[in-house]
């Protein structure tokens, strides 16, 4: 690849009494060449550095926004954030698989967001917001899409509301979110020829859940923090496309199976973790870190035979910070990851096809490292 990216950003701030406001924007251009060259071949007459494919993409991105915060009362604050974004994307040429393609798409997005914060007491705060977000497909979405299908842009309607509670030794945050999508681009569970995730649009889908995080200062030397997310991530209707080659593998038919209210691929319903930190001496910290990730599905069919098991891992970290006379700070850390040597996978992909009435299915997993160690030194001048 040969990539060039450049642009310009600007902003102007306004502050007066209860109002703070920012107007700004940006213009960026990205030009990227994708090409393949045969740099050496032992049994071919292909000349050195022969270029067997080439394509170029050009993306222009223009943004203008206005953000404002207003202090209505001593305890009540509101905000509004309005953004216009215009995107043009053109790409053409020959791809690695030797097919020609051409993309010429224009997008005009309006992304508003507004909300409020209410300081109920010195220790309690409530907040809520509503936002609309739009995002265009990326290059791979166009390349990997079937020849007769153009990927659509995503539209998200997001509602969030929460509560924050603070004491001298305790912090607690509770957040609820509802993310309703139109044409969300979700992973299919497959990979393309270079190992990137293949995505497809689904008409209606959502993600909703509750997030909790907090910390407790048990003493001047001991800190405990934790987080927990419980969610649902669903597609209202998903069409799985498989190819049937017939019992004698001399046919080629497309078979579509429709699933309703299925889980979105690679979206665990439970994520949790905590950290326990002990500071026995100035600059010295020992930390025990734990993470739990619930089961996930490799595709969007909620099929238990195409899934990743939940995993629970623990890490240990020991760090020491000091300030020598010749620099601001030196930090030395030793990390022991997955200290109980758990065997687990955090990602993968799946591939299947039909041979008459028989389904041939293969799942592939990315195993993660067992117990491993890392030494880190950071210098601040």
Per DSSP, helices labelled H in the chain are: 139-144
Q: Which is nearest to 121 in space by CA: 89, 75, 167, 85?
A: 75
Separation between Cα atoms, residue 13 and residue 10, nearest integer Å: 10
Task: Report yes or no: 315 and 303 within 8 Å, Cβ to Cβ.
Answer: no
Separation between Cα atoms, residue 165 and residue 272, nearest integer Å: 20
CA 85 to centroid of chain Cα atoms: 21
SS (H, E, C) 258-313: EEEEEECCCCCCEEEEEEEEECCCCCEEEEEEEEEECCEECCCCCCCCCEECCEEE
Task: Report yes or no: 244 and 355 within 8 Å, Cβ to Cβ.
Answer: yes
For the chain, give every domain's residue range: 2-380
User: Which phi and psi angles does 140 have, rounded to 5°?
Assistant: -60, -30
Beta strand pairing call for 100-118 and 345-355: unpaired
Query: Tens-of-pLDDT digits for all 381 residues of the chain?
Result: 899 999 999 999 999 989 999 999 999 999 999 999 998 888 778 888 899 999 999 999 999 999 999 999 999 999 999 999 999 999 999 998 888 989 999 999 999 999 999 999 999 999 999 999 999 999 999 999 887 789 999 999 999 999 999 999 999 999 999 999 999 999 999 998 888 899 999 999 999 999 999 999 999 999 999 999 999 999 999 999 898 998 888 888 889 999 999 999 999 999 999 999 999 999 999 999 999 999 999 999 999 999 999 999 999 999 999 999 888 999 999 999 999 999 999 999 999 999 988 899 999 999 999 999 999 999 999
Q: Which is nearest to 236 in space by CA: 197, 182, 158?
A: 182
Q: What is the CATH number of domain 2-380?
A: 2.40.170.20
Handedness of CA 146, 147, 148, 152 (dihedral sign): positive
b (16+ CB within 10 A) / e for 56-93: ebebbbbbebebbeeeeeeeebeeebebebebbbebee
Task: Report yes or no: 229 and 270 within 8 Å, Cβ to Cβ.
Answer: yes
């Amino acid at each position: 690849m040969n990539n060039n990216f450049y642009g310009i950003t600007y902003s102007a701030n306004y502050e007066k009494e209860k109002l703070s406001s920012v107007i700004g924007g940006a213009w960026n251009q990205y030009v990227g060449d994708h090409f393949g060259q045969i740099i050496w071949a032992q049994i071919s007459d292909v000349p050195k550095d022969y270029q067997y494919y080439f394509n170029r993409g050009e993306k222009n991105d223009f943004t203008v926004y206005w953000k404002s915060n207003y202090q209505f009362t001593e305890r009540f604050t509101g905000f509004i954030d309005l953004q216009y974004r215009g995107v043009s994307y053109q790409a053409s040429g020959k791809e690695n698989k030797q097919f020609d393609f051409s993309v010429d798409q224009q997008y005009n997005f309006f992304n508003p967001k507004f909300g409020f914060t209410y300081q109920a007491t010195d220790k309690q705060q409530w907040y809520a917001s509503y936002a609309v977000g739009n995002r265009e497909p990326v290059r791979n979405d166009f390349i990997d899409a079937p020849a007769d299908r153009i990927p659509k842009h995503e539209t998200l309607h997001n509602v969030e509301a929460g509560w924050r509670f603070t004491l001298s030794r305790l912090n607690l945050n509770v957040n609820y979110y509802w993310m309703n999508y139109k044409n969300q681009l979700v992973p299919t569970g497959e990979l393309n020829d270079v190992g990137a995730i293949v995505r497809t649009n689904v008409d209606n889908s959502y993600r909703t859940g509750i997030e909790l995080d907090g910390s407790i200062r048990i003493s001047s030397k001991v800190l405990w923090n934790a987080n927990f997310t419980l969610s649902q991530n669903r597609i209202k209707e998903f069409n799985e496309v498989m190819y049937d080659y017939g019992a004698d593998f001399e046919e080629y038919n497309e078979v579509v199976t429709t699933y309703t209210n299925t889980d979105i691929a690679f979206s665990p319903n439970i994520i949790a973790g905590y950290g326990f930190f002990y500071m026995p001496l100035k600059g010295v910290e020992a930390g025990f870190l734990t993470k739990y990730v619930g089961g996930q599905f490799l595709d969007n069919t909620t099929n238990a035979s195409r899934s990743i098991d939940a995993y629970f891992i623990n890490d240990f970290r020991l760090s020491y910070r000091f300030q020598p006379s010749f620099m601001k700070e030196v930090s030395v850390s030793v990390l022991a990851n997955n200290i109980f040597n758990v065997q687990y996978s955090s990602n993968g992909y799946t591939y299947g096809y039909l041979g008459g009435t028989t389904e041939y299915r293969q799942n592939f997993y990315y195993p993660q490292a067992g117990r491993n160690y890392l030494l880190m030194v950071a210098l601040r001048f």
